[in-house]
Amino acid sequence: MGTRQEISELPPDADLARADSLAREIFSDIANKWALLIIEFLGQRTMRFSELRDAIGGISHKMLTQNLRTLERNGLVERHVHATVPPRVDYTLTEAGQALRGVVDGMCGWTQHHLGTIEACRSRFDAS
């Protein structure tokens, strides 16, 4: 038989593969424009749906709900519904969301810091 079964305490290949595909799945969920912008803006403070929509700008109603659901499913965002009329829904980052926020801040900072360089690179690239 294969040598791998000898150390039964370690997860078998099947489990490693599953964890890997899960990691990829999660990575795909968060590594997209809208999800990261939501994280970034919600990181500043709790916001209701329409506030967030206006803060981000350029995101459609549908995209916002859709991405918020995905983030909620992954435990990055908490949804609080107030039983008022008109209804009010607040969104907050969870602890995990806040942790990710640090990373997203880094991305935004990187973008700001390299704006000029990138613009120059683009001009050079587009010229040729």
Partner DNA sequence: CGGCATCCTTAACGATACTG
Partner DNA sequence: CAGTATCGTTAAGGATGCCG
Smaller CB separation from a second copy, 6 or 126? 126
Query: What is the Cα gyration radius of the chain?
Result: 20
Instruction: Quote the DSSP letter at residue 4.
Output: G
Name the binder of 16 from DNA, a second copy, none, CB < 5-8 A by kind. Answer: none
Min separation Cβ 85 and a second copy, Å:
24
**Cα distance between residue 23 and residue 16, in whole Å:** 10
Smaller CB separation from a second copy, 10 or 99? 99
Interface residue with DNA among 4, 61, 113, 122 (CB under 7 A) is: 61
Candidate ranges 8-16, 19-27, 60-68, 104-112; the one touching DNA (CB under 7 A): 60-68
Min separation Cβ 90 and DNA, Å:
8
Phi-psi category of residue 75: left, alpha or beta, with phi > 0 → left and psi -120 to 50 → alpha: left
**Cα distance between residue 93 and residue 102, in whole Å:** 12
Q: Is 116 in the site for DNA (CB under 7 A)?
A: no
Phi-psi category of residue 11: left, alpha or beta, with phi > 0 → left and psi -120 to 50 → alpha: beta
- φ and ψ of 9, to 5 deg: -75, -30
Min separation Cβ 19 and a second copy, Å:
6
| Residues making contact with DNA (CB under 7 A) | 32-34, 48-51, 53, 58-65, 68-69, 79, 86-89
